[in-house]
Amino acid sequence: MNKITKEFKNRKFHFFVFTFALLICASILLSCEESNIFSDKDDVELGKEMDKEIKNDPKQFPMLEGYQDIKDYVSGIGKYILNTSPLIKKKDIYPYNFQVINDTIINAFCTPGGYVYVYTGLMRFIDNEATLAGVVGHEIAHAERRHVTQRLTAYYGVSILMSFILGGNPDLVAEIAANLFVGLAFLKNSRDDEAEADYYSIQYLKSTKYYPGAITFFFQKIREEQKKKGQKPGDLDRMLSDHPLPEDRIEAVNTLLNKITPHPDPTKGVFTEEYQKIKEKLPPKR
């Protein structure tokens, strides 16, 4: 009996050491930049679930009803960027869906798997099609670079691994879903995420008809509004919360643009007249 007990204790100890070592390795791995325990399939499933939740909450997310020409216009810009830029690698993996939310909020956001949402408030705020393309390219980059599930990995990674080792934890899955859906907390981007999305927005648009630095028009407009109404004017609160805009972010984008040869002309590939016609068709403010 003593020999059996001793053997059992040894096995238990070895299992503990193995588990502990595995968790230490996982912690180191998950602290590395771009680590992600979620698969592309997981991103798609999370995006689908979040899309359902968004559409089941019309008070917070009033989807645009009717106005098919507006919806087709936004979707057309997104699909054009996807089909034109060779740098977008997951266009055949993610379903990429471009939708419009009818609200005065000046914002756009993307959930995992390429579900992009643009607010009519944003469309009223900007002045040309290239700016909208720059914002849409920025949101595509959040999906392509998998920023949301990277943040989920950093937050839940070791806990999920421990659950797998010890036999699963269904409550943890529910917790992840709750944090994703309540307030879209994990859609709040870090400075690094924003800088990377800006970079790829420029790279994506370089292959298109649009001025590649068009997102700078958006930044300029935000700065103008801040001068008029204070540091965080009301309709911009959500956008600045989800997409921080420190001065060094603007400088970084301008530096990127200055490195492009030949230097792109900010007066070409803007499509202001076409965009103004679309703006006139937007529904009245809610």
pLDDT band at 270 (very low <50, low <70, confident <90, very high): very high
pLDDT computed for residue 148 by the predictor:
87
Q: pLDDT: is 47 or 76 the higher one? A: 76
Whether 65 sits among the annotated catalytic residues: the reply is no
What's the mean pLDDT when you consider all of the chain?
Answer: 81
Query: Residue 190 — pLDDT band, cuts 50, 70, 90?
Result: confident
* Distance between start and end Cα atoms, the chain: 78
Mean pLDDT of 119-135: 97
Quick one: three-class SS letters along 80-128?
A: HHHHHCCCCCCCCCCCCEEEEECCCCCCEEEECCCEEEEEHHHHHHCCC
Helix (H, G, I), strand (E, B) or coil at 59: coil
By DSSP bridging, strand 115-119 and strand 97-101 are parallel
Q: Measured between alpha carbons, how far is 204 from 286 in angstroms, rounded to an integer?
A: 33
Each residue's pLDDT tens digit, 12-48: 444 444 344 334 444 444 444 467 888 898 889 888 8
Which amino acid is present at 269?
A: G
Mean pLDDT of 47-72: 92
Of the candidates 98, 102, 97, the residue with the CA atom closest to the CA atom of residue 66: 102
Say whether 274 sits in a helix, a strand or coil: helix
- The total of other beta-carbon atoms located within 10 Å of residue 157's CB is 20
Q: At what angle do helices 129-144 and 68-84 cross, to 10 degrees?
A: 60
Question: For residues 236 and 190, which has the higher predicted lDDT (pLDDT)?
Answer: 190
Is the distance from CB of 117 to CB of 54 less than 8 angstroms?
yes
**Residue 2 pLDDT exceeds 90:** no
Q: In the chain, pLDDT over 90 holds for what percent of residues?
A: 50
pLDDT in tens, 148-181: 888 878 777 656 655 544 445 555 544 665 566 5
Q: Which of 135, 152, 137, 140 is nearest to 187 (CA)?
A: 152
Is the per-residue pLDDT at 104 higher than 80?
A: yes
Q: CA–CA separation, 131 vs 102, rounded Å?
A: 19
> What is the reported pLDDT for 50?
85
Distance (Å, whole) CA 111 – CA 267: 32
- The pLDDT value recorded for residue 64 is 98
pLDDT attached to residue 23? 40
pTM as predicted: 0.80
pLDDT of residue 46: 84
pLDDT of residue 25: 42
Other beta carbons within 10 angstroms of residue 228's beta carbon come to: 8
Give me the pLDDT at residue 225, please. Answer: 81
Report whether 269 contacts 136 (CB < 8 A): no
Q: Span 221-228, mean pLDDT?
A: 82
Select which of 7, 53, 129, 139 is catalytic: 139
Pull the structure tokens for residue 248.
Answer: 């060094």
**Residue with tokens 């849409």, as numbered in its chain:** 136
Q: Do 50 and 161 meet the contact criterion of CB atoms below 8 Å apart?
A: no
The CA-atom distances, in angstroms, between 208 and each of 93, 108, 122, 166, 237 are: 21, 21, 22, 50, 31
Task: Please choose, from the candidates 7, 2, 104, 119, the residue with its C-alpha nearest in 3D space to the C-alpha of residue 54.
Answer: 119
56: tokens are 């089941």
Residues 251-260: tens digit of each pLDDT? 889 999 999 9
What average pLDDT does range 57-72 have in this prediction? 96
The two tokens of residue 54 are 């968004």
What confidence tens digit (pLDDT) does each residue in 226-254 have? 777 665 555 666 566 656 666 778 888 99
The percentage of the chain sitting over the pLDDT mark of 70, rounded to a whole number, equals 71
